[in-house]
Structures are given as C-alpha cells and as structure tokens.
Amino acid sequence: MAGSTLEPNNDILDVVAAGAESTAAEKVLLARPQRTIRTRLVMMFSLFVVGSVVITAAMWVLVSRIDRKIAFIGVADQLNYEILQARRFEKNYLLYGSDLEHVDYHIDAAHAAMERSMEELVTSVSGECLEYLEVNLWRYRELIGTLRRLDDGEGAGSEATREETQAELRECGSHLVECGQKVASREREYVRTMLDASRVIPVIYLLSVIALSIYAAHFLRRHILQRLELLMAAAQRIGAGDFSPIVPIRKHRDEFTNLAVAFNRMTSELERREEFLLQSQKLRAVGSLTAGVAHELNNPINNIMLTAAVLSEEFDGLPADEQQELIGDILEQAERARKIVRNLLDFARESEISSERLRIGEVVCSAIDIAGNQLKLAGVKVFREIPDDLPEVEGDRQYLSQVFLNLILNAVEAMAEGGTLTLRSDVSEETGFLAIHVTDTGPGMSPRVQKAIFDPFFTTKATGSGTGLGLSVSLGIVHKHGGEIKVRSKPGEGSTFTVILPVAKERNS
C-alpha cells in the first residue's frame, strides 16, 4: 500500500547488533601482535636447560682443575721435602762432618720430581721462579760437588775457599727452600680460591633457579590461571544471561586469543538462539491461549450481533432510553472484546528487552488476566495473596509476565479436572529479594522429575503436546533479572514454583 512502511523486527536487529559487537571484538582481539605462550614456555625451559648445562660444565671444569692442583700440591710437597732433607744432611755435614752422599740423593730426587711436573710447573709457576729453581738446584749440586772434592783433597784450596763455598751453599739452599715453599703455598692458595668459587657457583645456580621459578609461577598465574579465571567468569556471566563479548585486556595475542574468539562466536550464537527460543516459547503460549481467547471473544461478539439485530429490527418502535441502553450494551461488549485482544497483543508483541521499575503484583495480575479463560475452562480457582505494597523490582514487564503466565498455564495443565491455584509473596529485607510462590493442587512430581524439570526439551507431556522449553526459557529470563526459580513438590501433594527476584535499589533523593 502507498505510504505504508515496513516495521523492522526488533529481535532481528538485536541479533544483528550483537553479531556486529562480537565481530568488532574479534577484530580487536586478532589485531594485536602475536606472542604465543608456547614460545615463551619453550624459551623459559631452554633458558633453564642452558643454565643447567653451563653450571654443570663450569663445576666439572672447576673440580677437574682442583683435582689437578691437589695432585700438583703433592708433587710440590715432595719437592719441598727432598730439598729440606738435602738441607738437613747439609747441616749435618757442616756441623758434624757427615757424608754428602745423602745430599746428592735428595737433590736428585727433587730434580726428578721437578722433571715429572714440568708441564704443570710451566702453567702454574712464573718463568722467573721456575728458572730460579732450576738454576739453584744445579748450583746447589755443583757446590756439593765442590765441597766433596775439597774434602777428598782434589784441587788446590784454602780454608777461605771452603768457607766461601759453604756460605754460598747455605744461601743457595735457603733460596731453594723459599722457592719450593712459594710454589706449594701459591698452589694451595689457588686451590682455596677455586674451592671458594665452587661454593659460590651452586649458590648462584640456586638463586637463578629460584628467580626462574618465581618468574615461571608469575607467568603461569598471569598468563594462564588469570586467563582461565576470566573465561570462567565469562562462562558464569553467560549463564546469568549476559552475552557481552570478551574484549582484549593485554597487548599481545596468544592461544587464549583464539579461545576468546571462539568463545565470542559461541556467545553470539547462544544469544541468537536464545532470542529465537524466547519468541518460539512466547508463540507457543499464544497458541495455547488462542482457543480460550476465541471462546471468550465469541460471547461479546454474539451479544453485539444479537443487540445489533434487535436495534435493526425494532429501532423505530423502541423508546429513546431503550435505544441508548442497547447501544451502551454494544459498546460495553465491544470494549470487553477490545480488552481481551489488547491483553493478548501486549503479551505477544515483539519488543526490545528493557528494564524498568515494576510492581510485581501488577505483572502477576496481568498474567492471570491473560490466562483467565483457561482457568475458567479448567475449573481452577485462583487465590491471589500478593499485597499491593510489595517493594518494586527492576525488569522487563513482558518477559516477567511470560514467566508467570507459563507457570500458570503449566499449573492449569497439571489440574485438568479442576483445582486451586494460589499465588502468594514473601519479602526478605536482609537479602534484598522477594519471592512469588505459585502453588497448585495437581498430582505433584517425583524427585527424578524435579531434577530434570528445568532441562531444555524435558517434558512429561504426551508426544506433540509440549516442547519442553517453557521452564528452561523461564529460568533463563529470571537469571537475566538476577533471580532464581525453585521448585518444591511431592507426589500427590501438588507443586510450588517459587520465583525469586532482587528488590530494586532505592532511588537517590
């Protein structure tokens, strides 16, 4: 038709908006530079392995050198021992005139010890000290030979020459002892230094391992445990009905980024399907009401037709006051029909989920009015014990009305041969919640059925009589409002469904 406009489907717009929000979050997540957790773990492990290998190699080299030095100290001590023994026999010769053969023996032994360790001496002793040691050993042996010849009367000599030779012998022997002790003490000092280093290296290694362990613990907590906690919080948030996507909180992306992207896609799909479930459940409720509404509309329409027929046939012969009375009847019946249709359209119309301050008693009364004809046809008596001064709640009127209507219709179906439906309320000022109890006098439920009553697609009705989504969808709606639905039932004693909702916060004055 000309001039008409096509009204957009709000639910489809919501799904498109949610999809766009999820897509934007995905682009932001994937736009960050990549730095994978696997790479960092491999680097951390490699650093630990390399450090362990380096420390082990250093300790092995250090211990090997200490072993060599200890062996060389034995040689140096042997060298000193032979020199000291030679000097002891030298003194015996000078004091008591004993034989010099023992001096030669020990000097030869000292020279042999020095020859065996020449390679180690070259690397450990300064060239000057080594040369001095060799020269003095040779000179000491030469002086011993000179004294022996003087004692044997070979060659010309005097007492002055003997004394001069003996003095040089004592000085040369003293230098030999001093040089030998210097070699031994230097090697011992070197071994002591390496032992000190061998004590420091394990401490450094231990501190490095502790530091690496602290970093690893921090890394695991920050990059894995915290991320898992965020995903758990997101899962709980989704379970409570909040389908907002996960947004990036770090500079780099890693394996958890791909998980977050998959999570956002799943969230978007869950939100889309929940919207379809809500609408399908609402349409199912409308369908179950259609027969009753048609029957209820039939009465005012029949009355309108009969009254209009009377007016048409006897209009001219009726007094003016009776004409006005019949016209009033027509208007009254038309208003009755309009109210029935308006209630049904208010429940069935599509709208965005909104939040406003509501009086829960009015919402419950609206649901009772919509299901009024179903209650009459089933012969169910309704007792409403909900005071008007209950605290307000914040929520969506239509969705909460859908919850109570679904509970009322389920109670009507449970009381097919008539019964009593009681709706009453409780308020807890300590917890800040109020509860609406919907109690029927139906056959009740077994514990097994109670455990599965809120599961999607679970139903106790005959095949084709229900989808098993009503209570599951109602529970999702109440979770979105920060509440809960509980059930209490015993076979043969009826059932009580309790809708718990948070009380609205006080407005700031």
CATH classification at residue 508: 3.30.565.10
Helix, strand, coil distribution of the chain in percent, nearest 5: 70, 10, 20
Asked whether residue 326 falls in the same domain as residue 430, the answer is: no
Q: Using CB atoms within 10 A of its CB, is residue 90 exposed (0-12), middle (13-18) or buried (19+)?
A: buried
pLDDT tens column, 88-132: 887 887 777 777 777 778 877 877 777 776 666 666 655 556 677
* Cα angle 105-106-111, degrees, rounded to a multiple of 5: 100
- Which CATH number characterizes residue 294's domain? 1.10.287.130
For residue 249, is it within any domain? no
Instruction: Among 56-70, 185-199, 314-328, name the one with the lowest average pLDDT.
Output: 314-328
Claim to verify: residue 199 and residue 73 sit in the same structural domain:
yes
Tell the burial category of 425 from Cβ atoms under 10 Å away from its Cβ (0-12, 13-18, 19+): middle
Most confident of 45-54, 72-81, 122-131: 45-54
Same domain for 105 and 153? yes
Answer whether residue 223 is part of any domain.
no
Q: Is residue 235 part of a domain?
A: no
pLDDT at 500: 92
Domain boundary among 320, 350, 380: 350
Instruction: Please state the rounded mean pLDDT for residues 124-144.
Output: 71
Q: How far is CA 191 from CA 60, 75, 184, 202, 449, in A?
A: 15, 14, 11, 17, 83
One domain, residues 57 and 197: yes
Q: Is residue 471 part of a domain?
A: yes
Mention every residue, 6+ apart, whose C-beta is less than 8 A from residue 401: 347, 363, 366, 367, 370
My answer on whether 51 and 194 are in the same domain is yes
CA distance 448 to 235: 27
How much is the pTM?
A: 0.42
| Spatial distance between the Cα atoms of 334 and 323, rounded to a whole number of angstroms | 17
> Rounded distance, CA 41 to CA 503, Å?
49
Q: Which of 301, 335, 350 is the last residue of a domain?
A: 350
Domain assignment present for residue 452? The answer is: yes
Give residues with Cβ within 8 angstroms of 198, minimum separation 6: 59, 62, 63, 66
8 A C-beta contact, residue 311 and residue 323: yes
Is 490 found in the same domain as 475?
yes
Task: Please tell me the distance from the alpha carbon of residue 427 to that of residue 359, in angstroms, as a whole number.
Answer: 13
Cα gap 424→442, rounded to integer Å: 17
CB 468 within 8 A of CB 404: no
- Mean pLDDT over residues 351-378, rounded? 81
Question: What is the arithmetic mean of pLDDT over 10-35?
Answer: 52
323 and 392 in a single domain? The answer is: no
- For residue 383, give the DSSP letter: E
Q: Which residues contact 255 (CB under 8 A, 6 or more apart)?
A: 36, 37, 38
pLDDT attached to residue 29: 56
The token pair that represents 484 in the structure block: 């809960």
Q: Examine residue 58 and state whether it is found in any structural domain, yes or no.
A: yes
Q: What is the pLDDT of residues 483-508, one digit of tens each?
A: 899 999 888 888 999 999 999 887 65
Single-letter code of the amino acid located at 131: E
**Number of domains into which the chain is organized:** 3
d(CA 451, CA 460): 13
Residue at a domain's end among 350, 378, 409: 350
Range of the domain at 485: 354-509
Task: Say how many Å lie between the first and final Cα of the chain, rounded.
Answer: 51
DSSP conformational letter for 13: H
What's the pLDDT at 202?
83
For residue 426, list its beta bridge partners.
435
Percent of the chain predicted with pLDDT > 70: 74
CA dist 364 and 366 (Å) reads 5
Residue 300 located in a structural domain: yes
Residue 503 near residue 391 (C-beta atoms within 8 A): yes
The pLDDT score that the predictor gives to residue 281 is: 62
